[in-house]
Structure 1
């Protein structure tokens, strides 16, 4: 029985598909199938039912799966112990990021790769809700996300930026005569916003729910540049970070929303109280040092 056979077996069990499992372990599909067959011959029992569309574990396969996972985890643990003693970093590390931010992530990852070429780095882009789920599930080691005033449960944060959210309109818009408006004044105004799942949209929806109304979202786009362009054409009020709206002052008039005052925070987030892999810890340490500025601070979730 070989470790690669157990690795392929676990991959097929998780994917319920030989082709996807082969992609996961970076081996041609016939090679995965051949090794699984050898493992089945050695055990004297079939591990998978291949008769349906999706591959299913047999009763024997279900019984073997936890032992296969334990064996692979033991080997990974042994390698990690040796790596920590020798100072060698290898393995995999995964980082997530929201679409719009001003962090030099390519520079950060390039420097880490230069110092630790044996570590495989993966980068995933998504909205904040998706990336927070990835942190909780363990598929991500760290992520740059947008959050509200409180640290999400189970996560630690390093604040990168903290800005008020404003309503930005064209200079000819009927609301352009105001500099401050309560959120309820936007009840019937066509709003231009980032999509559901983004931190900015979540803050807007939370504020409107507290104020007792559902916002009228007329346009949504995943890029703040597009939001600004739509608002500049008089199509509604764009909900934007205050700093970004101020940078577009030639095209947009910013209106402070208060009450309630909405704020958006860009943070580096990671799982609190969990050691993680040596590679994950090394990248986190590097990222925290790179992002440490005058306003940076670390927050832990409540006990």
Structure 2
């Protein structure tokens, strides 16, 4: 690895064209400048300057080192300025959440982009497993998950909660276990997990009987309730996903004796310090999710 101090001295010498002026500009002695140039030549194993008395000209190798060196030093300077500034309203943010949360949060985050043109956003709707993998592989900076991560390199902390709702077609005024069996289940990627949490807490038969018959399945958060609205079954979904569906008149949400809330976790890589621009997004998401308002 080339010594950046030597490279800076060399580029400054090329630009001033004089050893004495270079020494003055860098607060060095003239022998110190000459020594660093020799060390740089030794590093590359060839002459970078063709000396002609007190003057010099660049060799072909010197031309290449100067062009690349100046570019590299400029990039490092830009990086230092960016890190020193850490503008809370500038930069790119990579986030993800399960779809039900995304339906609520994504429009609100877009409003922040409208207010702050220096921000840009990559927001992904994904299941917990995919989010966990993308965080681990550094394709995301921050995410919300509805279960704690099992990976040691990720840090999780409770952030909010989302109520799980039992949703049937609007013609079902009351629900009991035989009614649910008759309707059948509308599945989705987290359907088994949600059903186990909510139905297991309210219907003793859930753990005893055979699995509920599957009437339909969708992995698109916006279409999971479409079969329910057509009378093809029931499902269990977080409140935000239910609220986003239209027409609401085609659905019926059933209060249950034992309500269940799913914890929402804030997840990021354990030793990563997030830039200040994420503070605005976290405040926006927290304001949207806490306290949650549920339509039951």
TM bucket, shorter chain: 0.5 to 0.7
Secondary structure of the residue that 2:271 maps to in structure 1? coil
- Measured in 1, the distance between the counterparts of 2:281 and 2:232 equals 39
1:232 equivalent to 2:229? Answer yes
Q: CA deviation at 1:295?
A: 5.9
Paired position in structure 2 for 1:105 = 109
Greater CA deviation, 124-133 or 81-90?
81-90
Q: Give, in whole Å, the separation in 2 of the partners of 1:96 and 1:288.
A: 12
Corresponding residue for 2:84?
85
Q: Is the 8 A contact 2:135 2:269 kept in 1?
A: no
What are the residue-to-residue correspondences of 1:1-303 with 2, within 5 Å?
83-87=82-86, 93-100=93-100, 101-103=103-105, 104-111=108-115, 114-115=117-118, 121-145=121-145, 147-148=146-147, 151-153=148-150, 154-159=155-160, 162-171=162-171, 176-178=172-174, 181=176, 186=180, 189-194=183-188, 196=189, 198=190, 200-205=191-196, 211-212=207-208, 213-242=210-239, 244=242, 250-257=249-256, 261-265=259-263, 267=264, 269-271=266-268, 273-276=270-273, 280-293=274-287, 296=290
Task: Give 1:158 deviation, angstroms.
Answer: 2.3
- Mapped partners of 1:80, 1:215: distance in 2: 56
Give the whole-Å Cα distance in 1 for the aligned partners of 2:289 and 2:131.
Answer: 23
TM (norm. structure 1) is 0.51
Cα deviation, 1:203-250, whole Å, max 9, x if unaligned, reads 225667882553332211234553333223221113233562698552
Structure 2 residue ranges without an equivalent (≥5): 3-43, 45-74, 201-205, 292-296
Distance 1:94 1:126 in 2: 13
Instruction: Determine which structure has more spread, i.e. the larger CA radius of gyration.
Output: 2
SS in 1 for 2:275: helix
CA contact (8 A) 1:242 1:254 kept: no
**RMSD in angstroms over aligned alpha carbons?**
4.2
- The CA deviation at 1:192 is 1.0
| 1:274-300 Cα distance to aligned partner (Å, 9 max, x none) | 233xxx432321111222338638xxx
Alpha-carbon offset, residue 126 of structure 1: 2.2
Question: In 2, distance between residues paired with 1:77 and 1:193?
Answer: 51
Measured at CA, do residues 295 and 91 of structure 1 come closer, stay the same or move farther in structure 2, by a change above 3 Å?
closer
The TM-score, its normalising length taken from structure 2, stands at: 0.52
